[in-house]
């Protein structure tokens, strides 16, 4: 990819000096339609103040107080403070208002439920206010437009480290915040996984009581799902995508910050549920079992309701950014494949998460308001819940998989110095997955007896989805074909990803087949399969992606020696853990059990050993990330020699990303030399008589 006027700014250094001081929120606006904005301001023009945005004079609304206003005083500290105070206050009120001794239909005491729920609401509200999420709307109601200086403050200009603890709108700050939050969630979920494997490895005793064990399983499931959804879309999607398409920020910078802080709020709700009984019903929390659970279930429901909003906001933001803010000349065929992947995932997130949110809203209302959407005794339907849940459940798998696959395809051309093989089929694969993703959900319900005849069409649609997924594999191996590979850490993740994806994909075909599923459903085989997909393909892809973008995001090189050791250790442990889990499933071990027949002992011991190896590998990888982040070698602007836009920015990336907005004049992935074995080349060769073919390979 080339940028047409690379250094035109040199000539007018004063202009560029001014421009480099501008806020990215404003910058984005100026970037999209400076003219429209100017007219707007011109109509008002009372204050007379004019700011220069990238050399253009932009009339400013009157400035109220110091730039940033109230947000100068709000940060994570005030948010935590107000969140906790309001949680306690609401909880106290709920306690006062609940009649002592009140019970629900199953004679469980109601007070803890109400107190906990009120606390959750208080926390959510308090934290949002404390971080400044409502500052924008309130200002708007008061008729105080943002000035340029305000926007600069919001984007975290000249705030140093403080901007990472504020409601900062700069997409790069949000990306880093997402990275940390997602890694914390992953670490939390991984810790729970270790506890699960400990319990299952110790076959001679119960380490945990059944209720603790079940809540570990449920929390591990949902924490990991959430972490995997954000691990690529959050850090890389926010940090890199705007730069990749040549924009100065996301389309809606404040919504971007909102999506991050909602994610943090949801995370705290989830962790808090562990202290009031936990999520004891797996991550799918099937009704009516969930109705029996302790109040921890409310924490889960609140988590999902908030997280769905966060995902929706983030998806809309990404979609609009990608649709409207691509650089000049970046037509669809010149758009990098990762942008397609994120775009597809955002579309799926946008339609899938509302189902999840509804299912949890209805479940919460069943719990608190005694409605009976899912209560069979009162005419509710458990199958309704399952349908709503899996309408999210399957697209969400692709929300996890698409970005990590696309990130691999994105970085492959760089490390093989070759164009992406068959770009069109890569897009076709992504489009195919997105199109079919909404039509396959009931393959999770083959054995529910919900609609035996519907098993036929769902089997058809599910197995058809292996064709577009196959396209993506084709693109990967086609790009490898006859290429020289530059063996650095990010490219290693590709091998791990494709290997795992092949195994996960093939076992997925088994499971999508109803007769086979009749044996495998609900067994450890399923657990092994989806770990191969979500962790083997999703997480290893994400690790590669983070390793690839690490120099750009942190300004330092990743310690590749430690990183590779971590990656391959985790990979080896992964094969052991989930390979033997396949065997346990085939032998007939159901999932989510705490004890089992002696028959399954050997595979479970192996699995547990493998799990600890994974844990070790991940610790090494995390250690490499943290130590390199703190004290790694300073990274050059473009360490991989990539030609795409995000690497053309300086490192560390300035607030406005690009001094001059780039213009794209060629297709992405313009690497490589003409193929000596190409048909046309061979014909030319022959024509040049029998010169012995000594073509460089």
Partner 1 sequence: MILFIVLWVALSPLGWLVTDAMNMTGAPASKVMEEIQQTIQVFTIVSMPLCAFVLAVLLYSLFGWKHVQGDRPKFESPAIRTNRVGVGLWVGATSVLALFLVGWGLVELAQITANAYGTIPSDEQPDDEKPLIVNVTGQQWVWTFEYPEHDRVTSAQLYLPVDRPVYFNVTSKDVIHNFWAVELGVKIDANPGAITQTGVTPNKIGTFNVRCAELCGLHHAYMQTKIRVVDNDDFNSWVREMGGQKTS
Contacts of partner 1 in 641-660 (CB under 8 A): 641
Nearer to partner 1, 602 or 609 (CB): 602
Q: Contact with partner 1 (CB under 8 A): which of 81, 97, 599, 683?
A: 599
The binder of partner 1 chosen from 39, 328, 333, 481 (CB under 8 A): 481
Size of the site for partner 1 (CB under 8 A): 93
**Of 109, 329, 438, 478, the one binding partner 1 by CB under 8 A:** 478
341 touches 405 (CB < 8 A): yes
Closest CB 674 distance from partner 1, rounded Å: 6
Tokens coding 32:
């999209």
Q: What is the DSSP letter of 635?
A: P
Other residues' Cβ atoms within 10 Å of the Cβ of residue 445? 20
Q: Is 275 one of the binding residues for partner 1 (CB under 8 A)?
A: no
Tokens of 661: 């907005």
* Torsion over CA: 552, 615, 542, 80 (sign): negative
Among 480, 507, 484, 504, smallest CA distance to 494 is for 480
- Residue 22 CA to residue 361 CA, distance in Å, equals 43
User: CA 183, CA 629: separation in Å to the nearest integer?
Assistant: 14
Judged by CB under 8 A, the residue of 55, 187, 201, 282 near partner 1 is 282
- Helices 423-437, 466-480: axis angle to 10 degrees equals 160
| Residue 567 to residues 294, 405, 572, Cα–Cα distance (Å) | 39, 17, 9
Kindly state the smallest distance separating residue 272's Cβ from partner 1, in Å: 22
Binding residues for partner 1 restricted to 488-517, rule: CB under 8 A: 488, 495, 498-499, 502-503, 506, 509-510, 512-516
Instruction: Answer yes or no whether residue 521 interacts with partner 1 by CB under 8 A.
Output: yes
CA atoms within 13 A on the CB side of 518: 5
Q: Does 114 bind partner 1 (CB under 8 A)?
A: no
Report the site for partner 1 in 125-154 (rule: CB under 8 A). none
Q: Is there a contact between 307 and 262 (Cβ–Cβ < 8 Å)?
A: yes
Q: Which of residues 417, 601, 612, 682 is near partner 1 by CB under 8 A?
A: 417
Would you count residue 487 as binding partner 1 (CB under 8 A)? yes
146/491 with CB nearer partner 1: 491
| Cβ burial, residue 36 (10 Å; 0-12/13-18/19+) | exposed
**What residues between 611 and 640 interact with partner 1 by CB under 8 A?**
639
383 binds partner 1 (CB under 8 A): yes
Contact track, partner 1, 432-461, x by CB under 8 A = ---------------xxx--x--xx--xx-
Query: Is 101 one of the binding residues for partner 1 (CB under 8 A)?
Result: no
* C-beta atoms surrounding 695 within 10 Å: 12
Minimum Å distance from CB 504 to partner 1? 11
592 is an interface residue for partner 1 by CB under 8 A:
yes
Q: Is 423 in the site for partner 1 (CB under 8 A)?
A: yes
Q: Which is nearer to partner 1, 84 or 203 (CB)?
A: 203
How many Å apart are CA 115 and CA 94, to the nearest integer? 5
Tell me 132's DSSP state: T
> Which position among 150, 152, 170, 281 is part of the footprint of partner 1 (CB under 8 A)?
281
Q: With binding defined as CB under 8 A, does residue 666 bind partner 1?
A: no
Nearest to 355 by CA among 452, 441, 297: 441
DSSP 47-105: S--EEEETTEEEE-PPP-SSTTGGGGG-SHHHHHHHHHHHHHHHHHHHHHHSPTT-B-T
For residue 588, state whether it binds partner 1 (rule: CB under 8 A): yes
Containing 59, the helix (H) or strand (E) segment is: strand 56-59
> How is 160-206 classified by DSSP, letter by letter?
GGGGGGS----HHHHHHHHHHHHHHHHHHHHHHHHHHHHHHH-TTS-
Query: What is the secondary structure of 560-617 as a DSSP string?
Result: HHHHHHHHHHHHHHHHHHHHHHHHHHHHTPBSS-S---GGGHHHHHHHHHHHHHHHHH
Query: CA-CA-CA-CA torsion for 663, 665, 671, 676, nearest 10 degrees?
Result: -170
In whole angstroms, give the CA distance from residue 170 to residue 172: 5
At residue 53, the 3 state secondary structure works out as strand
Out of 583, 611, 655, 664, the residue judged to bind partner 1 by CB under 8 A:
583
Q: Which of residues 158-177 bind partner 1 (CB under 8 A)?
A: none
- Residue of 2, 21, 63, 463 interacting with partner 1 (CB under 8 A): 463
Helix (H) or strand (E) segment spanning residue 58: strand 56-59
CA-CA distance, 148 to 56, in Å (whole number)?
Answer: 12
If one asks whether residue 65 binds partner 1 (CB under 8 A), the answer comes out as no
* Triad 652, 653, 655: Cα angle to 5°: 125
Shortest reach from residue 376's CB to partner 1, in Å: 3
Is 12 a binding residue for partner 1 by CB under 8 A? The answer is no
Question: Which tokens belong to 390?
Answer: 């899996």
- What residues numbered 169-228 form the site for partner 1, per CB under 8 A? 210-211, 214
> Applying CB under 8 A, which part among 342-350, 399-407, 568-576, 595-603 lies near partner 1?
595-603
Quickly tell me which residue has 């808090």 as its tokens: 272
Q: Residue for token digits 């994105």?
A: 410
Binding span for partner 1 by CB under 8 A among 46-54, 138-146, 544-552, 596-604? 596-604
Distance CA 394, CA 449 (A): 19
Pick from 191, 435, 467, 626 the residue near partner 1 by CB under 8 A. 467
**Of residues 327 and 459, the one with the C-beta less far from partner 1:** 459
Among 422, 612, 616, 660, binds partner 1 (CB under 8 A): 422
* Chosen residue from 300, 390, 441, 471 binding partner 1 by CB under 8 A: 471
Closer CB to partner 1, 344 or 432, in the complex: 432
Shortest Å, Cβ 465 to partner 1: 9
Pick the binder of partner 1 from 55, 112, 438, 522 (CB under 8 A): 522
Closer to partner 1 by CB, 76 or 362: give it: 362
Q: Which is nearer to partner 1, 6 or 210 (CB)?
A: 210
548 interacts with partner 1 by CB under 8 A: no
Give the interface segment with partner 1, choosing from 41-49, 288-296, 299-307, 323-331 (CB under 8 A).
288-296
Q: Which is nearer to partner 1, 464 or 622 (CB)?
A: 464
Q: How many residues does the structure list for the chain?
A: 697
By CB under 8 A, name the one of 292, 331, 665, 666 that touches partner 1.
Answer: 292
Question: Is position 579 an interface residue for partner 1 (rule: CB under 8 A)?
Answer: no
Please tell me whether residue 288 binds partner 1 under the rule CB under 8 A. Answer: yes
Nearer Cβ to partner 1 (264/491): 491
Side-chain-side CA neighbours of residue 590 (13 Å): 7
Mapping DSSP onto H, E and C, the string for 403-440 reads: HHHHHHHHHHHHHHCCCCCCHHHHHHHHHHHHHHHCCC
User: What is the smallest separation between the CB atom of 471 and partner 1, expressed in angstroms?
Assistant: 7
Closest CB to partner 1 among residues 12, 424: 424
Site for partner 1 in 671-690 (CB under 8 A): 671-678
Q: Which of 331, 424, 665, 666 binds partner 1 (CB under 8 A)?
A: 424
């Amino acid at each position: 990819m080339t940028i047409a006027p690379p250094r035109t700014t040199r000539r007018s250094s004063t202009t560029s000096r001014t421009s480099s001081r501008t806020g990215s929120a404003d910058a984005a606006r100026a970037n999209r339609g400076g003219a429209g904005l100017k007219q707007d301001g011109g109509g008002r023009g009372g204050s007379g103040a004019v700011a220069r945005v990238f050399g253009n004079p932009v009339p400013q609304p009157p400035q109220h107080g110091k730039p940033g206003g109230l947000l100068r005083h709000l940060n994570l500290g005030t948010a935590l403070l107000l969140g906790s105070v309001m949680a306690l206050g609401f909880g106290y009120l709920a306690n006062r208002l609940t009649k002592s001794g009140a019970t629900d239909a199953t004679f469980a005491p109601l007070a803890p439920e109400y107190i906990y729920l009120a606390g959750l609401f208080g926390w959510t509200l308090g934290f949002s206010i404390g971080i400044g999420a409502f500052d924008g709307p309130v200002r708007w109601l008061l008729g105080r437009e943002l000035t340029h200086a305000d926007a600069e403050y919001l984007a975290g200009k000249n705030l140093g480290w403080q901007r990472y603890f504020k409601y900062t709108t700069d997409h790069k700050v949000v990306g880093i915040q997402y990275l940390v939050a997602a890694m914390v969630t992953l670490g939390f979920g991984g810790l729970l996984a270790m506890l699960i494997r400990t319990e299952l490895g110790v076959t001679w005793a119960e380490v945990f009581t059944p209720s603790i064990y079940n809540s570990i399983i449920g929390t591990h499931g949902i924490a990991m799902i959430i972490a995997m959804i954000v691990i690529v879309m959050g850090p890389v999607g926010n940090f890199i995508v705007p730069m990749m398409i040549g924009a100065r920020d996301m389309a809606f910078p404040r919504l971007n910050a909102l999506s991050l802080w909602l994610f943090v709020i949801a995370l705290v709700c989830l962790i808090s549920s562990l202290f009031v009984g936990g999520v004891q019903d797996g991550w799918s929390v099937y009704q009516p079992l969930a109705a029996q659970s302790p109040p921890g279930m409310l924490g889960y429901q609140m988590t999902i309701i908030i997280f769905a909003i966060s995902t929706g906001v983030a998806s809309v933001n990404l979609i609009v950014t990608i649709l409207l803010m691509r650089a000049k000349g970046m037509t669809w065929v010149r758009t990098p494949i990762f942008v397609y992947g994120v775009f597809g995932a955002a579309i799926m997130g946008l339609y899938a998460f509302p189902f999840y949110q509804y299912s949890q809203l209805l479940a919460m209302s069943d719990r608190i308001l005694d409605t009976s959407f899912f209560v069979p005794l009162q005419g509710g339907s458990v199958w309704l819940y399952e349908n709503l849940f899996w309408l999210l459940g399957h697209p969400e798998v692709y929300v996890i998989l698409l970005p990590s696959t696309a990130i691999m395809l994105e970085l492959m051309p760089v490390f093989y110095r070759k164009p992406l093989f068959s770009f069109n089929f890569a897009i076709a694969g992504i489009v195919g997955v997105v199109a079919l993703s909404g039509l396959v959900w009931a393959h999770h319900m083959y054995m529910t007896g919900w609609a035996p005849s519907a098993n036929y069409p769902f089997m058809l649609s599910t197995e058809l989805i292996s064709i577009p997924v196959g396209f993506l594999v084709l693109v990967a191996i086609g790009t490898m074909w006859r290429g020289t590979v530059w063996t650095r850490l990010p490219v290693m993740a590709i091998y791990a990803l494709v290997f795992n994806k092949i195994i996960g994909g093939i076992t997925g075909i088994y499971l999508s087949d109803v007769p086979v599923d009749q044996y495998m459903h609900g067994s450890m085989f399923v657990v092994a399969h989806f770990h191969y997909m979500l962790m083997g393909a999703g997480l290893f892809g994400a690790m590669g992606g983070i390793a690839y973008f690490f120099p750009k995001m942190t300004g330092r090189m990743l310690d590749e020696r430690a990183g590779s050791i971590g990656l391959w250790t985790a990979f080896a442990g992964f094969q052991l853990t989930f390979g033997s889990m396949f065997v346990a499933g085939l032998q007939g071990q159901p999932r989510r059990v705490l004890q089992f027949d002696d028959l399954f002992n050997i595979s479970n011991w192996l699995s547990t050993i493998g799990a600890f190896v994974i844990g070790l590998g991940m610790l090494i990888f995390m250690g490499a990330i943290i130590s390199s982040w703190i004290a790694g070698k300073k990274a050059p602007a473009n360490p991989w020699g990539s030609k795409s836009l995000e690497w053309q920015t300086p490192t560390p990336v300035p607030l406005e990303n690009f001094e001059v907005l780039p213009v794209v004049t060629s297709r992405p992935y313009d690497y490589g030399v003409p193929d000596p074995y190409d048909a046309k080349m061979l014909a030319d060769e022959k024509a040049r008589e029998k010169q012995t073919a000594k073509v460089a390979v």
